[in-house]
Amino acid sequence: MDGIKPYVIGIDLGGTNTVFGIVDSRGNVLADDSIPTRQFSNPEAFVEGISAAIRALANREVGLDQIRGIGLGAPNGNYYQGTVENPPNLPWTGIIPLAQMMTDALGIPTAITNDANAAAMGEMIYGVARGMKNFIVITLGTGLGSGIVINGQMVYGHDGFAGELGHVRFIHDETGRSCGCGRKGCLEAYCSATGVARTAREIVTTTDRPTLLRNIDPDQITALDVSLAAGKGDAVAKEIFEFTGHMLGEACADFAAFSSPEAFIFFGGLTKAGDLLMKPIIEGYEQNSLNILRGKPKFLISALMGANAAVLGASAMGWEL
Smallest gap from residue 126 Cβ to a copy of itself (A): 21
Identify which range of 25-33, 52-60, 62-70, 156-164 contacts a copy of itself by CB under 8 A: 156-164
Residue 247: HSE in the Cβ half-sphere, 13 Å Cα cutoff:
22
Q: How far apart are CA 266 and CA 284, in angstroms?
A: 15
Residue 172 as a binder of a copy of itself (CB under 8 A): the answer is yes
How would you label 90-127 residue by residue, b for 16+ Cβ within 10 Å and e otherwise?
bebeeebbbbebbbebbebbbbbbbbbbbbbbbbbbbb
Instruction: Judge whether 244 and 277 are in contact, CB under 8 Å.
Output: yes
Smallest gap from residue 223 Cβ to a copy of itself (A): 22
Among 158, 205, 215, 219, binds a copy of itself (CB under 8 A): 158
Residue 76 as a binder of a copy of itself (CB under 8 A): the answer is yes
Give whichever of 20 and 190 is closer to a copy of itself, judged by the CB atom: 190
Among 36, 107, 157, 210, binds a copy of itself (CB under 8 A): 157
If residue 139 lies in a helix (H) or strand (E), which one and from where to where?
A: strand 135-140
Give whichever of 64 and 181 is closer to a copy of itself, judged by the CB atom: 181
- # residues contacting a copy of itself (CB under 8 A): 48
Smallest gap from residue 189 Cβ to a copy of itself (A): 13
Among 44, 65, 159, 202, binds a copy of itself (CB under 8 A): 159
Smallest gap from residue 110 Cβ to a copy of itself (A): 21
HEC assignment per residue over 219-278: HHCCHHHHHHHHHCCCHHHHHHHHHHHHHHHHHHHHHHHHHCCCEEEEECHHHHHCHHHH
Residue 255 as a binder of a copy of itself (CB under 8 A): the answer is yes
Cα–Cα distances in angstroms (integers) from residue 100 to residues 10, 72, 116, 158, 238, in the given order: 16, 12, 21, 22, 46
User: For residue 251, which of 110, 174, 136, 161 has the smallest C-alpha distance?
Assistant: 136
Q: How far apart are CA 34 and CA 10, in angstroms?
A: 12
Residue 100 as a binder of a copy of itself (CB under 8 A): the answer is no
Could you say which DSSP state residue 178 is in? B
Residue 178 as a binder of a copy of itself (CB under 8 A): the answer is no
Q: How far apart are CA 143 and CA 155, in angstroms?
A: 20
Residue 250 as a binder of a copy of itself (CB under 8 A): the answer is yes
Identify which range of 11-19, 155-163, 195-203, 235-243 contacts a copy of itself by CB under 8 A: 155-163
Smallest gap from residue 165 Cβ to a copy of itself (A): 6
In this structure, the strands spanning 7-13 and 17-23 are antiparallel
How remote is the C-alpha of 255 from its chain's centroid? 17
Instruction: Judge whether 270 and 193 are in contact, CB under 8 Å.
Output: yes
Smallest gap from residue 266 Cβ to a copy of itself (A): 17
Residue 293 as a binder of a copy of itself (CB under 8 A): the answer is yes
Residues 115-154 that bind a copy of itself (CB under 8 A): 133-134, 148, 150-151, 153
Amino acid at residue number 297: P
Residue 207 as a binder of a copy of itself (CB under 8 A): the answer is no
Smallest gap from residue 224 Cβ to a copy of itself (A): 28
Q: Contact residues for a copy of itself (CB under 8 A)?
A: 76, 85-86, 133-134, 148, 150-151, 153, 155-165, 167-172, 181-183, 247, 250, 253-262, 288, 290-293, 296-297
